[in-house]
């Protein structure tokens, strides 16, 4: 880990009154409640998604400032294609705009964007801007921002199994060599590390097919706050709740 991560983590921990060991290094968030936020305010659902996009920028900046190494955001699931066509089209338009608009901030903060999910099925405009942003930020050495877009946890495991089967067929892998490390290496999240803290907004008590392999030992935090209203104070509250947990990983404390 670079000194900058350690310095920021230490400063944040001190400000929150906890130890640096109690700070999460990788935070994953299931961003929920955009539609409900819009409905409560009498706005169209698209406005909720726009406000949700602004919250992404706010929370990503907070994580950079806090010294978080990786931030993984569940943005659009494979199942979300079942939503009304107008809403999906509006979302895809927002993604293309967002991927262009966020570039200066990513570069300023030395953030590297990675994509989790299947490119097949995404509109050409989204794929184009996504790849351009990934390429532009590819050499950045700060926080990793992982965007789960057209993502499904089961699909990820299926895709990993196919890659492993292909390598076995080509003689690159022996049956005896296939273990948890090999599976992890073939997932979309290869090289990311597993989330320490998984946050879900809007008081939903579901995993929703998100990071099924990776969250085996993640600490869960659920808040009633809708995603557009999730700000710095809410993130700090989640970190403080995480700091109180005893992470035993199957052992006795």
Beta strands 26-30 and 197-200, pairing class: parallel
For 4-28, what is the mean pLDDT? 96
Question: Which CATH fold topology does 24-152+194-241 show?
Answer: Undecaprenyl pyrophosphate synthetase (3.40.1180)
Q: Which of 65, 80, 109, 159 is catalytic?
A: 80
80 is catalytic: yes
- Rounded CA gap, 232 and 77, in Å? 25
- Give the pLDDT score at 1: 45
Phi and psi at 90, nearest 5°, equal -65, -40
Residue with tokens 């060991």: 21
For residue 152, the SS3 value is coil
Across residues 133-146, what is the average pLDDT? 98
Tokens 């990503």 locate to: 60
* Residue 252 scores a pLDDT above 90: no
With beta carbons less than 8 A apart as the criterion, state whether 183 and 158 touch: no
Which of 32, 34, 150, 196 is flagged as catalytic?
32
- Residue pair 143/69 in contact (Cβ under 8 Å)? The answer is yes
The pLDDT tens digits of the residues spanning 58-89 come to 999 999 999 999 999 999 999 999 999 999 99
Task: Tell me how far the alpha carbon of residue 88 is from its chain's centroid.
Answer: 20
> What is the C-alpha to C-alpha distance for residues 41 and 47, in angstroms, rounded to an integer?
10
- pLDDT, position 55: 97
């Amino acid at each position: 880990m670079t000194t900058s991560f350690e310095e920021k983590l230490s400063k944040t921990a001190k400000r929150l009154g906890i130890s640096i060991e109690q700070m999460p290094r990788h935070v994953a968030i299931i961003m929920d409640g955009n539609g409900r936020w819009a409905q409560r305010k009498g706005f169209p659902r698209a406005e909720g998604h726009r406000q949700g996009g602004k919250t992404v920028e706010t929370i990503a900046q907070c994580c950079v400032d806090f010294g978080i190494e990786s931030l993984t955001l569940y943005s659009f699931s494979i199942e979300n294609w079942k939503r009304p066509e107008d809403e999906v089209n509006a979302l895809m338009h927002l993604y293309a705009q967002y991927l262009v608009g966020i570039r200066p901030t990513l570069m300023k903060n030395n953030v590297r964007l990675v994509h989790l999910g299947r490119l097949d099925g995404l509109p050409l405009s989204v794929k184009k801007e996504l790849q351009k942003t990934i390429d532009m930020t590819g050499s950045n050495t700060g926080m990793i921002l992982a965007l789960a877009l057209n993502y499904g946890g089961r699909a990820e495991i299926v895709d990993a199994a196919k890659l492993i089967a292909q390598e076995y067929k080509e003689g690159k892998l022996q049956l005896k060599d296939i273990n948890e490390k090999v599976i992890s290496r073939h997932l979309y999240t290869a090289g990311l590390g597993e989330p320490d803290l998984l946050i879900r907004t809007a008081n939903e008590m579901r995993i929703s097919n998100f990071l099924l392999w990776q969250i085996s030992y993640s600490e869960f935090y659920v808040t009633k706050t809708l995603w557009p209203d999730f700000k710095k104070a809410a993130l700090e509250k989640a970190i403080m709740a995480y700091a109180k947990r005893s992470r035993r990983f199957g052992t006795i404390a």
